[in-house]
Amino acid sequence: MPRTFDVPDFFRSPIISLIKHARRIQDPRKRDLSPSILNFGPVDFKIARHFGFCFGVENAIEIAYQALDDNPDKRVFLLSEMIHNPHVNNDLKERGIKFISKTSGEQLIPFEELHTDDVVIVPAFGTTIEIENELSERNISLHKYDTTCPFVEKVWTKSQEIGQQQYTVIIHGKRDHEETRATFSHANAKAHVVVILDIDEAKDLARMIRGEMPEDLFYERFKNCYSDGFNPKLHLSRIGVVNQTTMLANETEAIANLLHQAIISRYGEKNSRNHFIDTKDTLCYATKENQDATLALIEDGADFAIIVGGYNSSNTSHLVELCEAHMPTYFIRDVNELISPKQIRHLDIHTKKLMDTINWLPEKEEGKAIKIILTAGASCPDVLLDEVIRKIISWFPDSISINQAISSYKDTY
C-alpha cells in the first residue's frame, strides 16, 4: 500500500542521521561496532554504532500515521501506547488518536464504546488473543492496521511450536509489559506457560525442577505468572525458554543454561533432550545490535553515559543496566532533563523514581576533552539525541560549531 502521510518534523535529525548515513556507507554489513566520535574540542561524544528506531518501530509509526491519513472522518484508536516513547505517543494523541488502555493494561475506554466503523490499531508489541476475540465479536477488524512487529510474532510462533510438542513455555520477560502479556496469551493457546523476570527467579524455578523446593511454594513465588491449571510437578518436566524480544541478551542465555542444567541434574544428560527443547534465543536483531554496540562503547571508555528513551522502555533500561556497571549513567527522557551543567534529572531504573544529580558534568581538565557516551533505545527518535548534543555544547563556549564538528567527522569516513 503506498504511504501518503507527512513524517512529523520531530523525526528529522540533521546531526544523527548524517552520522548514521556515513556509517551505513562505510560499513554496510554492520560488522564494525566501534563508536562514532563527534569531537567538539572540550567535549567528545561517543555515539553508539547502533541505536534508535528499529524496523518494528518505524513500521508501526508509518502505519499509525497512515491510518490517520486514510481515515480523516473516522475515530482512530490504539489498543495501547504505540511504542514506549512519550514524544511519538503525544504527537499521535494530538492528531486525534485515542488510547484504549494504559501500558499496564488498565482500560481507559471500555470496548462497549467502540463501533464497527472505528479504526483500531494494534501496537508494535502485539495484543492478546482475548482482546482480538473481544473486538472480533464486536465486528471490529484489527487486520488493516496491525503493526505487531514480525520479531514479536516469531516468538509467538516459536512458543506455539514448542507447545505442540508438549513442552511448557518459560518466558523470560516482564509480566506487565504489553509484549509479554501478548506472548503469554499466544503461547498459552498451545502450552502451559510461566513468566520469569530474572536470574533469581530462574534459580527458584531450577530448584523446583530439581525437586529441592516444595511444590506449594511455586504458586506463591510465581503468583500471577503461570497459566491456569499449572501443576509444577507435571508441567516443569518438559520445558523450553523464549523471551520478550527486548531483554538483556546475556541474562536470557544464562537463564536458558541454568534451566537446562537443572533438567540435566533431574533427568540425566542422556534423557535431557526429552525434557528440554533448545529454542535458541528469541531476542530481536535490534535489541542484540543495540546491546552489542553499547558493550563496544563501554569497552572504549568514557567519563559518563547518557541514554535517551521513554522511561517505560524495556530495551532502553537494559542499555542503562549495561552502562551503569561501568560509569556514571543518566537515563533521560529528553533534553529537558538536562537542567543545567550543575543539575540533571534522570530515572533510577531500580527504584523507578526520578532523581536529581548535582554536579553531574565533570570539570574539564586542561588539554583533555570530556568524553560522553550517547545512545538511545529502539523507540527513541534520533532528533532527541541531536537536542542533547546541542544543549551540552552550548555550555562550552570554546566548542567548535556543529557544522565544523560534522565536517571533521565526515573527513574521517
Binding site for ligand SF4 (CB under 6 A): 54-57, 124, 149, 151-152, 245-246, 284, 286-287, 315, 378
Q: Which is nearer to ligand SF4, 53 or 409 (CB)?
A: 53
Q: Which is nearer to ligand SF4, 124 or 307 (CB)?
A: 124
Q: Which is nearer to ligand SF4, 54 or 208 (CB)?
A: 54
Q: Are 291 and 249 in contact (CB under 8 A)?
A: yes
Q: What is the C-alpha to C-alpha distance for residues 188 and 183, in angstroms, rounded to an integer?
A: 8
Taking the complex as a whole, how short is the minimal distance between the CB of residue 90 and ligand SF4, in angstroms?
Answer: 19
Query: DSSP letter at 10?
Result: G
Alpha helices for 165-306 (secondary structure H): 178-188, 199-209, 215-221, 232-235, 249-267, 285-300
Q: How many residues are recorded in the chain? A: 413
Q: In whole angstroms, what separates CA 261 from the centre of its chain?
A: 28
Taking the complex as a whole, how short is the minimal distance between the CB of residue 308 and ligand SF4, in angstroms?
Answer: 16
Taking the complex as a whole, how short is the minimal distance between the CB of residue 188 and ligand SF4, in angstroms?
Answer: 20
Helix (H, G, I), strand (E, B) or coil at 343: strand
Q: Which is nearer to ligand SF4, 100 or 378 (CB)?
A: 378
**In 3-state terms, the chain is what percent helix, strand and coil (to 5)?**
40, 15, 40
Kind and range of the H or E run holding 317:
helix 314-324
Write the CB contacts of 49 (distance below 8 Å, at least 6 apart in sequence).
23, 30, 32, 33, 34, 35, 36, 289, 293, 296
Taking the complex as a whole, how short is the minimal distance between the CB of residue 333 and ligand SF4, in angstroms?
Answer: 18
- Strand 338-340's sheet: what is its strand order? 338-340, 343-348, 353-358
Taking the complex as a whole, how short is the minimal distance between the CB of residue 283 and ligand SF4, in angstroms?
Answer: 8
Taking the complex as a whole, how short is the minimal distance between the CB of residue 309 and ligand SF4, in angstroms?
Answer: 11
Residue nearest ligand SF4, Cβ-based: 56
* 153 in active site: no
Q: Which is nearer to ligand SF4, 44 or 178 (CB)?
A: 178
Among residues 179, 201, 337, 387, which one is catalytic? Answer: 179
Q: Which is nearer to ligand SF4, 85 or 246 (CB)?
A: 246
Kind and range of the H or E run holding 375:
strand 370-376
Active site residues: 179
